[in-house]
Structure 1
Amino acid sequence: MVKTVIADDNQSKSAEDRLFQHGIPAQVGLVIGQLNRSSDRGFVYDLIPTPPTDGGGPACSLKSEAAGKDDKKKGSKSGKPSAEFPASLVVDNDWVAEHARQVSRMLLGGMNVVGIYLWASEATFKATSPAVLSQAIKGVAQAAPFADNEFEERLLIHVSYSPRRWSCRVCTLASGGLQPCDFKMGKLLASLQAFRCTYNFEIRLPIPQSGILGIITFKDLICRGIANLAKDLQSAKALINGHLVTENVHTSSESPHDVQFLVPFNKHISTEACSSEEVVGLVVFSGAICAFAYMGPREPILQAISDLKSDIVSSLRSRLDIITDEAEEEVALSLDGGGESGGDSLAEKSIHKLALREDVKDHCQEMMSMDGPIETTSVVDPETAPISAATRSFWDVVHKCTSNLVNDSKTNKNSIQREADAGKLERNNLNFLTAILVLLSALLFGWAVVAFGPTKTAY
């Protein structure tokens, strides 16, 4: 169980100043940090306020009606709220959970949504039922789970403005209980070690006929490929700065550390669908993932490797969600517009052309509450290149590849023949020049003999 929570002092002070400047009576947001099963300490890197709802309302507000009802039950003649019964907090659990789901997609390895924070007075916080608070925490935990789904603890940080102080509680998800813990400030972000990895992937999966292998949708097929890739990553060996990691040691060298994974070769290739009657197409899901992980100076190095692997898998799943969401929207629009005639064969249609149009800068400012302008160089360029997914006969694909090989072979033969002809021409030119040089040499030699040869004297 987490017994001590350490928050970064710079980020905490900045968050507190922001809350005081806004002057709002209540606010809810996400706690970004790190919780490890092997340690009894938790780390808090930043606090991110939940944005207003689609209707423009706050995600957290005060409820003062309950005080009046309590006064009536106690026999109050006026029925007016009394100062002895302060307002309690009302949290939009679904909206906070959705915020946690989207933010968790944007976080790097080793960083998670570890709980929620509440900005309220001490009296308001105490007037709020613990069941209301634990319900909000459970919703965030379900929307943004850890890679280790068995971790059953999250944090609740209360930032009080009357009086001005911080406190932290640990919520056990199974029981919903809130237990107090020690809360400290310290230098965290400056001491983190950075690990980075560029992981190139290519998943080739045959599309079986409907109902075969229990796969129904395009997303199901890709999810299966990502699951196989995740299994391969779990057994992969890691090279850090060119050295093979064989034990759980601590690193003290300067970051960032370059990491490479040695993945088993084609360990989980799908071989169930093997006949032309069962296969109707081929899906190729490829690209490169730039993954990062951060850990404290005292954390074991195997934890950073595990966080990198989790970051790769979560990034793939997030990109798949973006692609399928775009696809579903455009397919719905095409169906509303009439679509194409149903007489064409599925194997001859182009299902969808996907284009990612996500505005990364605006999304970061909204989800991560970045008030200041974002430098263009500080944000990774979004994936704006169009991605097409079309169904073609598997054997047509194979035949096309074979034709390409034949064409490449013919091209290579023609190239070799041209090189041979060019070489022959060069040899002919060289022989011609040699003959001319020999002839000129003979003429010069004959002229020299005649001009400088011995003369006869008459007696």
Structure 2
Amino acid sequence: MGRTVVLEENLIPYISKFASPNAYAVGLILGQSAGQRDYIVHFARTPRPAKEDIEEESIETNPFGDKEKETTEKPITSMKDLEENWVADHAKHVTRMLPGGMWVLGIFTVGKSDPYEDSSDRNRVRCALVQIREHFVKHSYLHGDGPSSEKLALHYNTVSQKIVCRSVDLNSTMFRPADLKIHSSPTKWHHLECHMGFDQWFPLPQSSSVRPLKRLIMDIVGNISKEIECAQCLIEGEPRDASDPVEGIGGDSQDEEVIIAPRRKNKGSLSPQASPAKKNTLPLEVNLFMPCNASEDCNDSSGVTTIDCCGEVRLVGVLACRVFLHQKATVEEAEKAVKTDIMRSLYSRLEMHWDSLIEEEQGCPEDRLTLHEPPRKVLVSLPAWNGRVELLEYIFPGEGPSEALISLRELLSLNVESSAVHECVEPAADASEFSVMHRSMEEVEPSRGKGSSSSEISHHMLVNTVRNVLSSCDDQGGISVGDARRLGSISSLDMRNAVVFVVAVTVALLAVAVAIYSSTGSDKGD
């Protein structure tokens, strides 16, 4: 049985606008995959490299060239001009902008003739799809490789204005026809939201003093990924069976917002026809509960582990998550989508952050408190879906919606206004919230003095604060930044100095007592 591809009729104008009289247009198919059925939500044209950039610039270091520089794109006159690595890099950047549960489903082409009728052209498209999968293997925390090994190859004929879709099994060389279903009625999507609170400390072993910041953060992301995978999921405050449909969750409050035909047959007053369409404004709330010890599943009973550290990294903030699921989605799919969204979002913004650093930080820097503020998430509604489906982008501190429009246009082929970018999902971070931590660290400095030994310095706590602050609202169900800020920190050196000081005072008092006793005894002897 072949794959079934669901395409809404209002998406066809978005792919037809890529038509060019003497060239092909190539891009990515974005959507959701469930079993043998794929739901297409958007077409993103892959930007072409500038002619002078093809030989001068590396795709890895600057995948899309200088966006502010007007350059002439090299057209694709035949599929021989398709550059697989360029398409794969585009897929990686686009996946950052997809919510959990959505993937790059395949590649589309727009032109006069069908390139998949030629064996060499088919092989080039398949190579591009394989390159995309290999990119996602290298960046596993993006969760970019979908649940199916079959990808889509879709072609829009500019002459006949017909669409032909095929499925490609990456484990073989077969191109099979896919059952393309074009729907004129709007597809229903379930909205789910989650706010994940972080306030965690991660020790930096002495061996990390020679490791770059990127490697240290990758280790932290790996630890968080294990915890997220083991987390227990509640939807609307209750545990659900994995096979339960999402459709039945939410009760009457969900039915008031979503347009469906009434299903209660015991009330004759209800009309058998569906009510007018309304927008779902009440998403389902999802809560994740982290295990007390994620290593318990690995039969790790070693107990307390002592690590010789040169510092610690603190990750604090609240990460906002919003996912969209097809009408027949199950609780299992919802849980996977939420967890995928959290890890994809966390990894994406941290990767963007260390890529933006002018100079790589290695080892334990002189400043014991280094504040890192990764970019925050903003959402953008897809015009074709009238707010039913949203994609996302990240903006750095000091940036606004206008900066996001560049990436939306270049990577997603979206020409929208600034008003279409919703930045209220994750408020900008306030660095002054960590002034208390700065002052506490400064108070430790005089007590150490300039004559501190190297061993004392190496054991002193270094706080590298990776700031992933997105929201501080208590009513969003996560840990508020205000609560996290009130949590104190005590270094191992401070504790050791305190113990030494108490012991020294005790010894001094005993010495004084012995001296007084000896003096008293000698007086009595006289």
TM-score for the superposition, normalised by structure 1: 0.68
- Alignment map for 1:282-321 (pairs within 5 Å): 282-321=312-351
Deviation at 1:7, TM superposition (A): 1.2
SS at match of 2:148: coil
- Which range moved further: 347-356 or 250-259? 347-356
Matched, 1:143 2:135: yes
Gap change, CA 1:385 and 1:117, over 3 Å in 2: farther
Deviation at 1:101, TM superposition (A): 0.6
For residues 53 and 183 of structure 1, the distance between their equivalents in structure 2, rounded to whole angstroms, comes to 32
Matched, 1:32 2:124: no
SS at match of 2:76: strand
SS at match of 1:119: strand
Alignment match, 1:47? 43
Alignment match, 2:236? 241
Matched, 1:197 2:194: yes
SS at match of 1:311: helix
- Alignment map for 1:162-311 (pairs within 5 Å): 162-186=159-183, 190-210=187-207, 216-252=211-247, 253=250, 254=254, 255-268=282-295, 274-275=306-307, 278-311=308-341
For residues 494 and 104 of structure 2, the distance between their equivalents in structure 1, rounded to whole angstroms, comes to 50
SS at match of 1:330: coil
Deviation at 1:171, TM superposition (A): 1.2
SS at match of 1:19: coil
For residues 59 and 303 of structure 1, the distance between their equivalents in structure 2, rounded to whole angstroms, comes to 41
For residues 100 and 185 of structure 2, the distance between their equivalents in structure 1, rounded to whole angstroms, comes to 16
Gap change, CA 1:2 and 1:227, over 3 Å in 2: farther
Gap change, CA 1:300 and 1:324, over 3 Å in 2: same
- Alignment map for 1:145-164 (pairs within 5 Å): 146=143, 151-164=148-161
Alignment match, 1:348? 366
SS at match of 2:81: strand
Q: What is the aligned-residue identity percentage? A: 22
How far does the alpha carbon of each residue in 1:349-396 deviate from its partner, in whole angstroms, 9 at most, with x for none?
458654553632322222111123231652456856569999985544
Counterpart amino acid of 1:205? F
Alignment match, 2:359? 330
For residues 159 and 323 of structure 1, the distance between their equivalents in structure 2, rounded to whole angstroms, comes to 38
For residues 235 and 245 of structure 2, the distance between their equivalents in structure 1, rounded to whole angstroms, comes to 12
Gap change, CA 1:188 and 1:34, over 3 Å in 2: farther
For residues 90 and 306 of structure 1, the distance between their equivalents in structure 2, rounded to whole angstroms, comes to 38
Alignment match, 2:10? 10
Matched, 1:62 2:77: yes
For residues 74 and 173 of structure 2, the distance between their equivalents in structure 1, rounded to whole angstroms, comes to 21
Alignment match, 1:100? 91
Alignment match, 2:407? 363
For residues 98 and 168 of structure 2, the distance between their equivalents in structure 1, rounded to whole angstroms, comes to 22
How far does the alpha carbon of each residue in 1:96-138 deviate from its partner, in whole angstroms, 9 at most, with x for none?
1111111100111111111110011225553452211111121
Gap change, CA 1:188 and 1:235, over 3 Å in 2: farther
Deviation at 1:316, TM superposition (A): 1.1
8 Å Cα contact 1:169/1:181 also seen in 2:
yes
SS at match of 1:222: helix
Deviation at 1:321, TM superposition (A): 0.4
For residues 349 and 109 of structure 2, the distance between their equivalents in structure 1, rounded to whole angstroms, comes to 31
How far does the alpha carbon of each residue in 1:143-170 deviate from its partner, in whole angstroms, 9 at most, with x for none?
3464667732211111111222101111
For residues 97 and 291 of structure 2, the distance between their equivalents in structure 1, rounded to whole angstroms, comes to 28
Instruction: Determine which structure has greater relative contact order: mean sequence separation of CA pairs < 8 Å that are 6+ residues apart, divided by chain length.
Output: 2
For residues 208 and 123 of structure 1, the distance between their equivalents in structure 2, rounded to whole angstroms, comes to 57
For residues 143 and 44 of structure 1, the distance between their equivalents in structure 2, rounded to whole angstroms, comes to 22
For residues 429 and 48 of structure 2, the distance between their equivalents in structure 1, rounded to whole angstroms, comes to 28
How far does the alpha carbon of each residue in 1:297-347 deviate from its partner, in whole angstroms, 9 at most, with x for none?
1121210111110110111111210121123x2349xx9xxxxxxxxx946
For residues 49 and 304 of structure 2, the distance between their equivalents in structure 1, rounded to whole angstroms, comes to 47
Alignment match, 1:425? none
How far does the alpha carbon of each residue in 1:235-275 deviate from its partner, in whole angstroms, 9 at most, with x for none?
22222122222342113343511111122124359988625
Counterpart amino acid of 1:14? Y
For residues 369 and 186 of structure 2, the distance between their equivalents in structure 1, rounded to whole angstroms, comes to 46
Counterpart amino acid of 1:292? R
Alignment match, 1:426? none
Deviation at 1:2, TM superposition (A): 4.9
2:103 aligned to 103, 112, 130, which one? Answer: 112
TM-score for the superposition, normalised by structure 2: 0.60
8 Å Cα contact 1:104/1:112 also seen in 2:
yes
SS at match of 2:77: strand
Deviation at 1:284, TM superposition (A): 0.6
For residues 6 and 247 of structure 1, the distance between their equivalents in structure 2, rounded to whole angstroms, comes to 24
8 Å Cα contact 2:194/2:286 also seen in 1:
yes
Deviation at 1:139, TM superposition (A): 1.8
8 Å Cα contact 1:201/1:287 also seen in 2:
yes
Counterpart amino acid of 1:325? D
For residues 284 and 359 of structure 2, the distance between their equivalents in structure 1, rounded to whole angstroms, comes to 41
SS at match of 1:168: strand
Alignment match, 1:434? none
- Which range moved further: 174-183 or 301-310? 174-183
- Name stretches of at least 5 consecutive residues in structure 1 with no aligned partner: 64-87, 336-344, 407-459
SS at match of 1:142: helix
- Name stretches of at least 5 consecutive residues in structure 2 with no aligned partner: 54-70, 138-142, 255-281, 297-301, 376-395, 442-456, 462-488, 499-526
Gap change, CA 1:393 and 1:362, over 3 Å in 2: farther
Deviation at 1:95, TM superposition (A): 1.5
